[in-house]
Structure 1
């Protein structure tokens, strides 16, 4: 892969591309079922906690850069630098890597669902269902794009993000305007629900919609002047995502409440048909929003794969992944690493239902974001860190973790046990790898 650098526009696109693609098309229906018309407040609350975590990441990154005289790092680097515990750092890295793979598999699954939702596209070819084929093909296409280099990836990401944000903002403003213009006005902000605990529960479930911005910390070698541009890109991306989410949620919950309950992945299509139908273009409205869904999920795959490659390279450089996965000394991301990540993602997305792995990914992001906020809080005596923001991030993430587990246990019992199984299996594999020398030394004694 090439060594071209990315500017502020591409950095914002990478961060935003990793958020909006998953938030709107993957969790909107689930979150709305919890908090109804007050869902906009859930996304707003989740955005606040994410922004506090973003502040923590930025400050930790700057502290490391100031101490070492080099560009900082991400979650793994932060833990190694401030705790000195390589095993915990490696286990966090492996957990995040699995979370990113699960997220990409979810995006590819949704991408294929929207492809086959078009009337002219069949659901199967012969006896083979088309959905897994399209999902794997999407992963393969973006793996090929990432192998071309950083500049090609960043340019395509900018185009994809600009297209989907334009469509979603137009849809949101049009939907809200349409709802206000009806007689009587159809706008419902869920005022009666705002005082209940439902929006907080929904915020926990929706937190995965804000996991894309931290990918920038793994791209620092490909970003021009990263210590200056990454904080700006994160602030712009999170603020933009919150605005887009609120607009789209209000419009969709007002115009397609039934679709959100029965067809959550395509509820936006129904709402777009309602708006465009007033001028006789219901079909065109549905097509445009469906194409936007393809742009959103496609850019989410692209952004996450691009940044996960750099994340894996950093772990290789730190000796936290086996050398056979890639050459850490290669320019850019080692092609073998990109191919391996793409292959594992393709395998996950071809299986079918990804609810368990997606829920595990959500929980892993909550844990890591909360841990980084707590880590920043422990450094509050440093002049540049204001304790209140890391404190909000840590407490908010802890609350979200408990609430998401509670939601899974009460509403999705099978997924709850599946997530526990994945978590235990991941922990055991990580322990066997990072404590392999200790285990070898103990085996003779055990005999």
Structure 2
């Protein structure tokens, strides 16, 4: 009977917005800026703008679909309902494998800020175990902890901006949107693909559709509010950091925010930035665990993943088997993954996930259509272009893992047919 229990609707608009913010702000500010600057140089802001446009188009597709299908699983469910089982499976597989890599990246980012040298891996494993325990206790505890984390992160980011403006010597000529500062368009597009990793957190709101009150109204509003706030935060941080460090300085360090504070007279604020980086990574990791668990639950209900993962805890009403399995896998990954590779691989899986979302939303009609179809066209084309310009190693790894997923579904369906 536990396999068929529904999740409880306990989240309001504010909770959903906070979970979306916790998913996005941690990933982007503290993990994606440096590799994006390496790809685009002075064209970083152009890459950020392109990523934001594609993210907004994708967000409208997710919001429109979530209002019609308010259940766990996000685009996995939408693809199945609008396009067919294989489309849904490919979206769900892309989300699960891409966001599992994101979990490892966020755990390692947290350890880089919080752990003493040589202790990064054990601290990352401890973070995964601790946050899995929080999620296990119920979604309202997830939202409450995320609210605290987001407050800490925004405070730290405010300190970064003020230190750059008041304690440093910003050179505004380093900040440009015209001509991408001599950067190649391929590099700018690659940076957009890497920065898209930072915006993809709004999907967590849609995957929680079975736990949101009044989902037809709450989910579209929460997605747009969370994304709008995140774009403003990213743009402000990017402009001030580029003005202080320049494109080369931003690309040269794995922690450009901390480096910008170090370059100012506010050196006392460096610990605040480290605390903010650690908290941001925890917020992203916490929301990722929740989102992947719900998508795995939806896939297991349809036997696209093992049925054991479809269990819902009788008391806490969470997909506890899926979250435990995810925690074990991520703890293994943190021992072997590379941060930049994890970001690129995650972007590959998630961009294909949103490609399916745009195609599914394009088919909606009548009262279910809330946004112009042109936005779905922009989103779909943007996803394809950004996937094609990701680092080649990320593309090859993504294609390989998708081939494994397709093989798994073919074999499992064949075995199920023989059993009948």
Question: Normalising by structure 2, what TM-score?
Answer: 0.88
Call closer, same or farther: CA 1:100–1:417 in 2, change over 3 Å. closer
Deviation of the 1:103 alpha carbon: 0.7
Call closer, same or farther: CA 1:300–1:371 in 2, change over 3 Å. same
Deviation of the 1:2 alpha carbon: 8.8
Q: In the alignment, is residue 55 of structure 1 matched against residue 73 of structure 2?
A: no
How many residues were matched structurally?
409
Residue number in structure 1 paired with 2:289: 305
The correspondence of residues 33-52 of structure 1 with structure 2, limited to 5 A, is 33-52=38-57
Check whether the contact 1:317–1:328 (CA below 8 A) recurs between aligned residues: no
Check whether the contact 1:4–1:150 (CA below 8 A) recurs between aligned residues: no
Residue number in structure 1 paired with 2:3: none
Residue number in structure 1 paired with 2:109: 110
Call closer, same or farther: CA 1:416–1:386 in 2, change over 3 Å. closer
Q: With CA pairs under 8 Å and 6+ residues apart, which has the higher RCO, 1 or 2?
A: 2
| Farther off after superposition, 251-260 or 99-108 | 251-260
**1:318-367 CA distance string (max 9 Å, x none):** 33322223425846223222211111111111224254444222111111
Residue number in structure 2 paired with 1:287: 271
Call closer, same or farther: CA 1:2–1:17 in 2, change over 3 Å. same
- In 1, distance between residues paired with 2:72 and 2:321? 25
Call closer, same or farther: CA 1:44–1:131 in 2, change over 3 Å. same
Residue number in structure 2 paired with 1:78: 78
Q: In the alignment, is residue 191 of structure 1 matched against residue 196 of structure 2?
A: no
SS in 1 for 2:25: helix
Residue number in structure 1 paired with 2:304: 320
- In 2, distance between residues paired with 1:185 and 1:325? 52
- In 1, distance between residues paired with 2:260 and 2:174? 14
Check whether the contact 2:312–2:320 (CA below 8 A) recurs between aligned residues: no
Call closer, same or farther: CA 1:2–1:89 in 2, change over 3 Å. closer
Residue number in structure 2 paired with 1:444: none
Residue number in structure 2 paired with 1:349: 334
Residue number in structure 2 paired with 1:433: 412
Deviation of the 1:293 alpha carbon: 0.3
- In 1, distance between residues paired with 2:142 and 2:72? 23
Residue number in structure 1 paired with 2:250: 260
Residue number in structure 1 paired with 2:372: 386
Deviation of the 1:402 alpha carbon: 1.4
The correspondence of residues 162-173 of structure 1 with structure 2, limited to 5 A, is 162-172=151-161
The correspondence of residues 17-416 of structure 1 with structure 2, limited to 5 A, is 17-64=22-69, 74-83=74-83, 85-116=84-115, 121=116, 123-124=117-118, 130-172=119-161, 174-176=163-165, 187-189=174-176, 191-193=178-180, 197=185, 198-257=187-246, 258-263=248-253, 265-275=254-264, 277=265, 281-282=266-267, 284-328=268-312, 330=314, 332-379=317-364, 384-404=370-390, 408-409=391-392, 413=393, 415=394
- In 1, distance between residues paired with 2:229 and 2:57? 16
Check whether the contact 1:359–1:419 (CA below 8 A) recurs between aligned residues: no
Deviation of the 1:72 alpha carbon: 8.1
Selected match of 1:421 from 395, 400, 408 = 400
SS in 2 for 1:211: helix
Q: Structure 1 stretches of 5 or more lacking a match?
A: 66-70, 125-129, 442-447
Deviation of the 1:51 alpha carbon: 0.9
SS in 1 for 2:334: helix
- In 1, distance between residues paired with 2:105 and 2:140? 25
- In 1, distance between residues paired with 2:72 and 2:142? 23
**1:54-81 CA distance string (max 9 Å, x none):** 111222233446xxxxx58621111121
- In 1, distance between residues paired with 2:342 and 2:410? 20
